[in-house]
Structure 1
Amino acid sequence: MRRMKEIRLLEGEYWWGGAVADGIHMPFGIEAFSRGLDPNRTANQATPLLLSSKGRYIWSDEPFDFAFREELLTVESSKGVIELGEGFGSLRGAYRAIQEKKFPPDGRYPHEIMFSRPQYNTWIELMYDQEQDKILKYAEDILAAGMPAGMLIIDCNWHDYYGAWDFHPGRIPEPRKMIERLHEMGFHVMLWVCPFVSADSRIYRELLEKGFLLRNQDGTPAIREWWDGYSAVLDLMHSGAISWFQQQLMYLTEKYGVDGFKFDAGDAMYYEDTDLSAVPTSANGHSEAYAKLGLDYPANEYRACWKMAGRAIAQRLSDKQHDWGVNGLASLIPNGLAQGIIGYSYTCPDMIGGGEYRNFLANSEHLDSELFVRYAQCSALFPMMQFSAAPWRVLDQEHFEYCREAAKLHVQFGERIRRLAEQAAVEGEPIIRMMEYVFPGNSYETIVDQFMLGDRILVAPVLQKGATERTVSFPPGIWFGDDGSQEEGPCTKVIKAPINRLPWYTLNAPFN
């Protein structure tokens, strides 16, 4: 039976939640908008939760579809009970109420180096040429350029075929030696993995015989099209398939010293509700099962996720374009804030400059240096920041220096960010927060181009091409700027922000 609930919007009420990819459309309630979460067909995280600036929430243990039209919010679900909570006063009050009830934190957070140091992903630099000498050169060049060491993520094609989770002997002949050298240079190392299995392989035949692969409704093996071809899919509702995958990962950590894994794919869009699995579940349920694997590894990264709010999983935004608009830089803050408000505190923006590789390649002959710098600055005071395209290679010395300063700023804030991650693991609150979340009742609901890092640091990146100043909304209090300025709020002021400046402010005391 399909359940439906209609909620009359209150005067001046705004809403957030559902799918992270819709952050660019939040807050809801201003104009018509609808989203189906049954299943989640977006390329990012989602949670069956909506939150209101007036202290209300909508929750279901199962996915729902919702629509805002005129003064009405309609929520429908064919599987779960729709719960309306009211009387919590503010956006923060509603979040804390549902978080404590449905996804309390478990006291753990991802590896601290993911917060305190920059991350470097080999994808844009090497693409499918993940070879030992090139990986080591990338790491050496990071240090030679004066960039701080951090987490190094070796992306797709370090292995043979999908499902054969060992280093390709031709591309990486001495994996243990390579990883030891990376560790000596100060890097931690993560490897890219996915739940797919190449269907023309020995491992596919072995897993099929054991019943470890997902099946179509008619009982045939499920072969799914994804961005890298057609592959079979592990049935992660099968305890044997889970054990098999865990054994592959344990082998990599124990034999070679790998520190963790980038768990890519796992999107609900690659599953069907009718798929046959060892334990029946939905497309969203398969995505959720994949995310649970990462809990065994403090160094982890996911881009697609269903539920799992409050858990120690690093959640990256989906691949962005080398663009100023909502497919690129302009999406980082609203979508990053959307991650936090639905329970994914440990947020990471996409690769600096844009990680959608086809778009990046198309722009590689005429990269926008200013855009690259503003990407780095916008990412610098997120919980995590991740480089891929080497700024020392693709930029001139001046613009590279601005990116290096952004990386150093992240390190400067590293211990404070780590403490906020630790706090999130205990109290469950987002690390980066909406202005409305921290300062309710000041008409900040629609601000999507600045954010709070915790409750005391206001960050106001420049997001417009050619801009050397921007408008900042200062809440009540005295705000001490990175440039030595002071502003008394509440006020709205135009501040100077040349290409070499990321404006940030601390509340009631200078940064220390």
Structure 2
Amino acid sequence: MSGAGELISGEGHETLRGAYSYVSRTFFPSSSSIPEELLFTAPQYNLWIELLYEPTQEKVLQYAKDVLANGMPPGVIMIDDNWHEPYGTWKFHSGRFPEPKRMVQELHAMGFKVMLWVCPFVTPDSLTYRQLDQTGILLKDRDGKTAIRKWWNGYSAVLDCTNPLAVQWMHEQLDALQKEYGIDGFKLDTGDSEFYESDDLSYIPATTRNGHCEAWAKVGLKYPLNEYRACWKLAGQPLVQRLKDKNHEWEGNGLDALIPDGLAQGLLGYAYSCPDMIGGGEYMSFTSVQLDSELVVRYAQCSALFPMMQFSAAPWRIMNNEHLGYCVDAARLHAQIGPEILELAMQSSKTGEPIL
């Protein structure tokens, strides 16, 4: 659709592949670059399900050691929500991470690259908020007041990423984490269009909800090691797209959704696709239902043949040795065919075609 809302249509490309190739070349040509190679060639390990809102330096290192002790290959390890001070204060929480630089060095020595979770929100009752509220880089509501938005972790102010100064500020925070601690990349979460209003007063006037989602996604283009879950109009760019949280279930929004959703994602131009966390990333599923070991195994086996695969709930904790062995086999299979997957990713960066 054009900016005015006019529907653009056409025909004559004979096949779905032909139609896709035309649309890709015309509207979202590939950038000729890919995200960090390790995302394709080794399993990923996200600590969300295992640690939830209580990550610590000790727990992170133990998870990494357990990966290796159970015969799984090292890869990218993602430290998720709440490693930090209040939202927007992107510094390691001193109580939970007393020596973050040493932790990152140990993870690197074990063969892992390290990602940190971040978002565009700022806790209102924090020093960071008081400082940023004077700069004009926080989003304003229709009345000209700093917008405070409800999201899954409470109520927060929001960076106005249509403002170059807001993007510059965010990049400064992330660059400092890389320089000071050796962090390799970032999971840039949230940014969903539902957290914005169509009449918000932004730096670029009349920015749509989807436009704000797009602006946040562009922040990650600076970092080859990245992950998103919400995106808009950035098909063909070297951004990793993880499928939205899946449930721990066979049918509905669980295992059955991985392949259809992954195929749809590719046809939208987002080739660098990661299925959700193995067993499901909707964490309430792990607190309210009986875990099904075979379901976790099938999640792992399916994910192994995606461009990327991501563990979270520790298979060595939640299942017996037999089922754990199947998960280890799936992880090793992905690493084994990693060079082929990487070759397909590089091909996709030139042709724009989906990997999956």
Shorter-chain TM-score tier: over 0.9
Instruction: Give the fraction of aligned pairs with identical amino acids, expressed as a percent.
Output: 58
Indicate whether 1:348 and 2:274 are aligned.
Answer: yes
| Superposed counterparts of 1:99-110, under 5 Å | 99-110=24-35
Query: Is it true that 1:119 corresponds to 2:60 in the alignment?
Result: no
Picking from 56, 62, 81, the partner of 1:137 is: 62
Matched, 1:292 2:218: yes
Q: Name the CA distance, whole Å, in 1 between partners of 2:270 and 2:335.
A: 22
- The two structures have a TM-score, normalised by structure 1, of 0.69
Shift of 1:205: 1.1
Counterpart among 250, 256, 262 of residue 175 in structure 2: 250
Distance 1:61 1:201 in 2: 41
Give the Cα–Cα distance (whole angstroms) in 1 for the partners of residues 2 and 101 of structure 2: 44
CA shift at 1:406, angstroms?
0.5
Q: Does 1:152 align with 2:77?
A: yes
1:157-306 superposed matches below 5 A: 157-280=82-205, 281-306=207-232
| Contact 2:2-2:8 at 8 Å conserved across structures | no
In structure 1, C-alpha distance between the alignment counterparts of 2:287 and 2:13, rounded to whole Å: 48
| C-alpha displacement of 1:81 | 2.3
Q: What is the CA–CA distance in structure 2 between the aligned matches of 1:251 and 1:163, rounded to whole Å?
A: 14
Aligned residue number for residue 312 of structure 1: 238
Query: Does residue 412 of structure 1 match 2:353?
Result: no
Residue by residue over 1:4-39, the C-alpha shift from the partner in whole angstroms, topping out at 9 and shown as x without a partner, is: xxxxxxxxxxxxxxxxxxxxxxxxxxxxxxxxxxxx
State the shift of 1:61 in Å: 3.3
Q: Distance in 1 between matches of 2:2 and 2:343?
A: 31
What is the TM-score when the length of structure 2 is the normalising length? 0.99
1:297-340 alpha-carbon deviations (Å, 9 max, x no partner): 01000000111000000000011110001211110000000000
Corresponding letter in the other structure for 1:196: F
Match of 2:310 among 383, 386, 402: 386
- CA-CA distance at 1:242 after TM superposition: 0.9
> Partners of 2:119 and 2:244 in 1: how far apart?
15
Runs of 4+ in 1 over 2 A off after TM superposition: none
Q: Residue 61 in 1 paired to residue 2 in 2?
A: yes
2:185–2:225 contact (8 Å) kept in structure 1: yes
Counterpart check, 1:321 vs 2:247: yes
| Partner amino acid, structure 2, of 1:423 | Q
Q: Higher relative CO (CA 8 A, sep ≥ 6), structure 1 or 2?
A: 2
CA distance in 2, matches of 1:89, 1:256: 53
Indicate the SS of the match to 1:209: coil
Structure number, greater radius of gyration: 1
Deviations 1:393-423 (A, max 9, x none): 1010000100110001101110000001001
Please report the RMSD computed on the Cα atoms of aligned residues, expressed in angstroms: 0.7
- Structure 1: distance between partners of 2:327 and 2:277: 13
What secondary structure sits across from 1:200 in the alignment?
coil
| Distance (Å, rounded) in 2 between the aligned partners of 1:419 and 1:330 | 27
Q: Aligned equivalents of 2:287 and 2:35: distance in 1?
A: 31
SS in 1 for 2:134: helix
CA distance, structure 2, for counterparts of residue 308 and residue 239 of structure 1: 18
Which amino acid letter does the alignment assign opposite residue 61 of structure 1? S
Q: Which runs of 5+ in 1 are unaligned?
A: 1-59, 63-78, 433-512
Matches within 5 A, 1:27-38: none
Displacement after TM superposition at 1:86 (Å): 0.6
- Partners of 1:271 and 1:360 lie apart in 2 by 30
Q: Find the residue that maps to 1:204 and give its secondary structure.
A: helix
What SS class does the counterpart of residue 115 from structure 2 fall into? strand
- Asked if 1:339 is matched to 2:280, the reply is no
* Counterpart-to-counterpart distance in 2, 1:337 and 1:61: 24
Which ranges of structure 2 fall in alignment gaps of 5 or more residues? none
CA distance in 1, matches of 2:301, 2:351: 28
Q: C-alpha displacement at 1:272, in angstroms? A: 1.0
Q: Distance in 2 between matches of 1:340 and 1:241?
A: 30
2:2 and 2:93 mapped to 1: Cα distance? 42
Residue 445 of structure 1 corresponds to none
**By percentage of residues, which structure has more helix?**
2
